[in-house]
Amino acid sequence: MTVLGVGVDVVRTSRFAEILKRSPTILDRISKRILHPVEHTNYQSSSQARQLQILASTWAVKEATFKSLSIGDQRRFKFAEWRRVNRLHGYEMIQTILQPQENDKPSVIKEVIREDRILVSTSHDGDYTIANALRQTTLNNVA
């Protein structure tokens, strides 16, 4: 496996609590922009404290993913098109194509078949959440 890119991000969880205090409507809008529809369903059924942690983790992991991408993929990057999944080899980011809908809730069209795999790891301590992303090729002998 060849490493193609790395990314890291650190975020203050309370950043999202501060937005919630100012305006639940703005936080709601941000949640729809950051979270994949599958992640958003999980978010909606979570307690408020867990929702803030979900936003912080998801933000960090997607910023780290963004940094690990090629310039071309960075230009096309949309937070809501990516989600974290638990695989046998650890947490991985997968990309989907979404169809925007009038009710503001996009539907998932299909998973993108990529030639790279993005492994991610997160950690929390107090108010801080950190995420790392390691992008590697799934092909052999790629320089």
Contact between 139 and 114 under an 8 Å Cβ cutoff? The reply is no
Q: Where are the extended beta strands (E) located within the chain?
A: 3-12, 82-87, 90-99, 107-111, 116-125, 128-137
Smaller CB separation from ligand COA, 17 or 58: 58
Amino acid at position 75, single letter:
R
Smaller CB separation from ligand COA, 17 or 79: 79
If one asks whether residue 81 binds ligand COA (CB under 6 A), the answer comes out as no
* DSSP 8-state class, residue 79: G
- DSSP lists the bridge partners of residue 99 as 107
3-state secondary structure of 35: coil
If one asks whether residue 63 binds ligand COA (CB under 6 A), the answer comes out as yes
Amino acid at position 127, single letter:
D
If one asks whether residue 39 binds ligand COA (CB under 6 A), the answer comes out as no
If one asks whether residue 76 binds ligand COA (CB under 6 A), the answer comes out as no
Nearest distance, CB of residue 16 and ligand COA, angstroms: 13
Among 22, 33, 50, 105, binds ligand COA (CB under 6 A): 33
Nearest distance, CB of residue 86 and ligand COA, angstroms: 24
Q: Which residue is nearest to ligand COA (CB)?
A: 67
If one asks whether residue 9 binds ligand COA (CB under 6 A), the answer comes out as yes
Residues 6+ apart with CB under 8 A from 27: 16, 19, 20, 55
3-state secondary structure of 45: coil
Smaller CB separation from ligand COA, 72 or 126: 72
Residues that bind ligand COA (CB under 6 A): 9, 33-34, 63, 66-67, 74, 79
